[in-house]
Amino acid sequence: MLEFRVIKTSSRSRARLGVLQTPHGEVMTPAFMPVGTQASVKSVSPRELLELGAGIILANTYHLYLRPGPEVIAAAGGLHRFMAWPGAILTDSGGYQVMSLGALRRVTDAGVRFRSHIDGSEHLFTPELAVAVQEALGSDIAMALDDVPSYPAAKERVAESVRRTALWAERTRLAHKRQDQAQFGIIQGGVWADLRRESAISITSIGFDGYAIGGLSVGEPKPMMYDMLDVTVPLLPAEKVRYLMGVGTPDVLVEAVRRGVDIFDCVLPTRVARHGMAMTKKGRLVIKSRAYAYDFSPIEEGCTCYTCQNFSRAYLRHLYHAQEGLGLRLLSIHNLAYLLRFMAEMRAALADDEFEAWAAEAYAGWTGDPLGPGEG
């Protein structure tokens, strides 16, 4: 089962160093989870992920439910064996994907009815089905189905989502069968402090193995997100792991850790790679730019990743323009190396109680946009 232990808390903020013990290994926190939407972290092999230091990845229930189907993955012996990933896996509940990808969706207390974005087939996703699918996948951590309002949404709609998410969370707990799988509840409430408080109180009173903060990083201004974390995190039990969903930009990682969040996921490192961008200590580097045509230095001096040890900016630029798959792979490897190292450095700073000094240094290094295009 899942065990979480806080090793050390910063003397100057709510930032904390912890260790998450899962059935598939130990994960030091704060941790970043690379996203394997289709049971694959796009273009990066499990062996490479291990070499990069990833201990836990995220897979998407909505996608795997539609294709290849949970019955195929269960027959393969579960998701770990199916995709040959020995580390820990967290599966989302599908709630967010149904809202963002499913067509003709209709949400009622029963569940959410939608049409598949692949073949138009109709499905009813219920809290019980989200539990059953994730138990068939056999992830280490399963998420409760939540009602995710779009952003921006009227306060009445967000209040309805808070009420429904709590109702579904109770049903999720009742449907739980697999003792080797942990369940996390999700706090909703949009950008309203009173609704965030209400959601945090109702979800934590049900009692889960960990808690996620959902419905943020969906387009709201960053200060608003930080305000919501300030409201929500103190209401979550200190001894349980805290997860902020859909966050992977370095500055937001710093701000959320400072406010007491432990784990994160985002498609950002592999998504920006597809747009020909590298993440570096100085900010994003647009590798496709003409400026690098004759630049035979690595993406980042001092980076120990396979890409930086062997390939130049000029070569990576060439691969991007020639649309060679290797270019995407090499950029993804570097971006994941960058972000996983960023988290490792953050943990080292927390161990020495030097988080604030380390964060100030990270901010000083970023010139312009630290991150890449868009957020989340």
Q: Contact residues for Zn ion (CB under 5 A)?
A: 303, 305, 307-308, 334
Distance (Å, whole) CA 232 – CA 221: 17
H or E element that contains 364: helix 355-365
State yes or no: is 92 an active-site residue.
Answer: yes
Contacts of 78 (CB under 8 A, 6+ apart): 137, 138
Please state, in angstroms and as integers, the Cα–Cα distance from residue 326 to each residue in 44, 104, 135, 143, 320, following that order.
Answer: 10, 38, 35, 34, 9
Nearer to Zn ion, 25 or 365 (CB): 365
The rounded distance, in Å, linking the Cα atoms of 45 and 43 is: 7
Smallest separation (angstroms) from Zn ion to the CB of 339: 11
- Give the closest residue to 38 by CA, choosing from 79, 75, 74, 77: 79
Q: Which residues pair with 186 in a beta bridge?
A: 212
C-alpha span between 351 and 344 (Å, rounded): 11
Q: In the complex with Zn ion, which residue's Cβ is closer, 16 or 313?
A: 313
- Which residue among the candidates 92, 140, 147, 209 is catalytic per the annotation? 92
Cα–Cα distance for residue pair 34/26, rounded to 1 Å: 16
Crossing angle, helix 155-175 and helix 193-206, to 10 degrees?
A: 10
Residue with Cβ nearer Zn ion (164 or 271): 271
Distances (CA, A) of 186 to 96, 201, 204, 284, 364: 11, 11, 9, 31, 34
* Active-site pick, 147, 262, 265, 352: 265
Give the H/E segment covering residue 105.
Answer: strand 103-108
Cα–Cα distance between 162 and 164 in angstroms, integer? Answer: 6
Q: In the bound complex, what is the minimum distance in angstroms from residue 305's beta carbon to Zn ion? A: 3
Cβ 166 vs Cβ 147: under 8 Å: no
HEC-encoded secondary structure of 160-176: HHHHHHHHHHHHHHHHC
Residue number with CB closer to Zn ion (133 or 303): 303
Pairing of strands 25-29, 16-22: antiparallel
Closer residue to Zn ion in complex, CB, 244/316: 316
d(CA 123, CA 125) in angstroms, rounded, equals: 6
Which of residues 73 and 308 has its CB atom nearest to Zn ion in the complex? 308
> Whose Cβ is closer to Zn ion: residue 263's or residue 303's?
303
Q: How far apart are CA 134 and CA 131, in angstroms?
A: 5
Give whichever of 54 and 73 is closer to Zn ion, judged by the CB atom. Answer: 54
Q: How far is the CB of 288 from Zn ion (least distance, A)?
A: 17
Residue among 375, 278, 373, 267 nearest 320 (CA): 278
User: Which residues form the catalytic set?
Assistant: 92, 265
